[in-house]
Structure 1
Amino acid sequence: MLLIGPVLVSARKGPKATAGAVIWSVALTVTWSVALSVADRHSGEFSPAAVALDCLVLIMGGGTAVYGARRRTEREAELRHVAQRSRDAVLRPLAAEVDGVVFSSLYRSVSEFGLGGDLYDLAHTPHGPRLLIGDVRGHGPEAAMLCAATVGAFREGACGSPALADLAAHLDARISGDLGPEDFVTVLLAEFAPGEVRLVNCGHPAPLRIGLRAEPLAPSRPSAPLGLDPRPQLQRARLGAGERLLLFTDGLSEARDAQGTMLPLDDRVREAACLPLLPECLEALLSLATTHAGGSLQDDLALIMCEPRCATPTGHGTGRTIALSSGAGADARHP
């Protein structure tokens, strides 16, 4: 009976906690036997050999539980490592300047192994920098596989599609075979040109233009997500020097407090998005969402901040990509 404790601990905890449970079981056996012998010292039923045998059985069984706990933690560590490498191959951290636009990203997953349903990517194309952010229905490995398929389709079609609406149609066609009966993917595509940003939104939360206020750039006619016959329209918006564009998944806008109230995209969001360095902005937004949700997020979260630096001609310019050195790499951290 006393072996049940170490076995249960080994199924959830590591080898140290399991060894502690074994020690407590052995100590309880000895203490209980001594207490019975003192309470009934004349019965003659106390047997040191029997107590030693019980302790030996506990130690042997507990040792097996400790070994099992160690093997389980090693396998989990290996799985986490593989999952992290796979995630980093799909979700490459953004910390670069492309054609006069600075990009910075942050990603957090609520999954144990860091595999979630949010996705993003950046492509330098003849049409200018093109950005993708999206959210797959669901969580876990299945959602991560669909994320990889969507990002792969974006990398395949970002340069060859002359218009953003064509790129959205390419994504929809390429991932249709990977979608289940109830699966869909919300995506937002952005293309940057001097003084403006062009958007195609397929069921995704509208980005925020951060200037004198936080202004959502919602499409005039909403479109269905990928997998549900999307028919998006091109949207053009001003994005000049001194303004920023915040793209996010619903892990930010739908973060809920204990009463179920979603995080309002108000002045607190604008203040966080106006910090001097883009990685600082993203960390502040993550902290804002986490605090609102009571200390832990309930959904995956991806954030991308974009800021025009200068009006460098896009597409036919130098095509340079410069890694930022003034702390921008800090946003590349993963959980």
Structure 2
Amino acid sequence: MRSERGWLLLAGTTEVAVAVGAVACPTVSLRGLLIAGPLLAAHRLSVRATGVLAAAAVLLAAALPGTEVAGERGLAPDYAVSVLFVAAVGLWAVLLAHTRTSCEAALARMTRIAELAQRAHVRPLPAEIGGLAVAVHTSSATEDALLGGDLYDVTLTAAGPRLVLGDARGHGVDAARVGAAVVCAFRQTAATEPDLVRLARTLDLRIQADLGDEDFVTLLLADFAPGEVRMVNCGHPAPLRTGHRLEVLEPPDPSPPLGLSPRPCLQRIALGPEQRMLFYTDGLTEARDAQGAMFPLDHQVKAALSAPPIDQALDGLLDLLHKHAARGADDDLTLLLVQPTVGLLDGAPGRPAPENEGRQPPLRSP
């Protein structure tokens, strides 16, 4: 609103300045310059304000004295033409303002629809779900987008909290479309499929129609139960676990991403009450400094992730990342920091072990 008042003041002042100049220099015809007022108004002001300034410009053009001819004061032959010119340009400015405001209103509606559509897939997560404390940060490398190719969600199943985190190939609208397809498929099946391996295969099948020839989605699924986390990793960056040291939880048998014939397998990880896990996309580890070095997962990261409370711990990690990344965000970034609470640790035992769980290695502890 303040900007519009300033623009109105500028346009009005311009018209007054031209009128004063025309009176001060009667030998020079300046009335044609009165079109500056309505043209300025058409750029930023409403149709009504532009119309008022256009009418004022026409009245001033008609009221200004003509140029002096042969030493006598009278109307120059171009007087009527100048007035008509100012009127025609004023009308054109009003039409421009109408077109601009209509386009701006349509853009605002479409932006609102796009924002609501994005928020349907980037819904805010509660601070705690099913005995799991959660802190989340997501940002898109695409300007004005809430989410690019990154996707995430946490849902509460009958056996406990279940998390999904993924990264669709590419950036922008196409990657967001694929990510939305994965989130939709996850929400449709996460509560009814107890086996994470079968869930990963189901998601792979359900998104095939949304994938192009070169598209793929790295994906990580995690179920939280008292004392442990069960995970399936399909080509996604391995999560971190805090403890005596910062541990990268690489899968025992790496699998390709969804869309590239994944081979999901179950991974069981011990998770105590004093430990946290960070799930992230490659926007974290691939952030580069001025020399091109990637973001290090070092003792500073461990200290940041261990700081209480959990939301401030995530803020501390973001501070480290922003200090490191000299060029700003080159990729989408999603961070999910989780920690079991008393509610999860004292909960009922997790779901029965799936058929393929017996072939998995024993729980890993720090």
Into which bin does the TM-score normalised by the smaller protein fall?
0.7 to 0.9
**Structure 2 counterpart of 1:280, from 312, 325, 330:** 312
CA contact (8 A) 2:122 2:147 kept: no
Structure having the higher Rg:
2
2:96 to 65, 76, 82: 65
Q: Which residue of 2 aligns with 1:326?
A: none
Cα distance change of structure 1 residues 54 and 212 upon mapping to structure 2, 3 Å threshold: farther
Deviations 1:221-255 (A, max 9, x none): 32111000011222222211111111111222222
Q: CA deviation at 1:165?
A: 1.4
> Is residue 29–residue 51 contact of structure 1 (8 Å, CA) maintained in 2?
no
Residue in structure 2 matched with residue 195 of structure 1 by the alignment: 227
| Alignment check: 8 A CA contact 2:122 2:146 kept | no
Quote how far apart the aligned CAs of 1:307 are.
0.4
Structure 2 CA distance for partners of 1:35 and 1:203, relative to 1, 3 Å? farther
Identity over aligned pairs, percent = 42
Provide the residue aligned with 1:332 in structure 2.
Answer: none
Q: Read off the aligned partner of 2:172 and give its amino acid letter.
A: G
Q: Give 3-state SS (helix, strand or coil) of 1:95's partner.
A: coil
Q: Secondary structure at the match of 2:201?
A: helix
Q: Secondary structure at 1:77's aligned position in 2?
A: helix
Q: Name which structure has the greater RCO, CA cutoff 8 Å, separation 6+.
A: 1
Q: TM-score w.r.t. structure 2 length?
A: 0.70
Partner of 1:234: 266
Identify if the C-alpha distance between structure 1 residues 155 and 292 changes in structure 2 by more than 3 Å, giving closer, same or farther.
Answer: same
Does 1:80 find its partner at 2:114?
no
TM-score under structure 1 length normalisation:
0.76
- Tell me how far 1:167 sits from its aligned partner: 1.2
In structure 2, distance between residues paired with 1:316 and 1:179: 34
- 1:43 Cα deviation (Å)? 8.6
CA 1:92 to 1:51, structure 2 compared with 1: closer, same or farther past 3 Å? same
Provide the C-alpha distance between the structure 2 equivalents of 1:27 and 1:288, rounded to a whole number of angstroms: 55
**Structure 2 counterpart of 1:260:** 292
**Is structure 2 residue 155 aligned with structure 1 residue 114?**
no
Query: 1:157 and 2:189 equivalent?
Result: yes
Instruction: Check 1:60–1:185 CA distance in 2 against 1; reply closer, same or farther (3 A cut).
Output: same
Secondary structure of the residue that 2:274 maps to in structure 1? coil
- In structure 1, the residue matched to 2:131 is 100
Superposed CA offset, 1:6-43 (max 9, x none)? xxxxxxxx98898799779979988998989559x999
Unmatched 5+ residue regions in structure 1? 1-13, 318-335
CA-based RMSD of the aligned residues comes to 3.5
SS of 2:141 mapped into structure 1: coil
Distance 1:71 1:131, change over 3 A: same
Q: Distance in 2 between matches of 1:270 and 1:36?
A: 78
- Tell me the distance in 1 between the aligned counterparts of 2:146 and 2:178: 15
From 224, 236, 248, the equivalent of 1:216 is 248
**Rounded Cα–Cα distance in structure 2 between residues aligned with 1:289 and 1:24:** 48
Distance 1:35 1:291 in 2: 60
Distance 1:160 1:101 in 2: 20
For the residue of structure 2 that corresponds to 1:153, the secondary structure is helix
Aligned residue type for 2:347: P
CA contact (8 A) 2:182 2:207 kept: yes
2:137, 2:334 within 8 Å by CA — same for their partners in 1?
yes
Which residue, 222, 239, 244 being the options, matches 1:207? 239
Unaligned runs of 5+ in 2: 30-66, 71-75, 352-366
Q: Distance between the aligned counterparts of 1:288 and 1:37, measured in 2?
A: 68
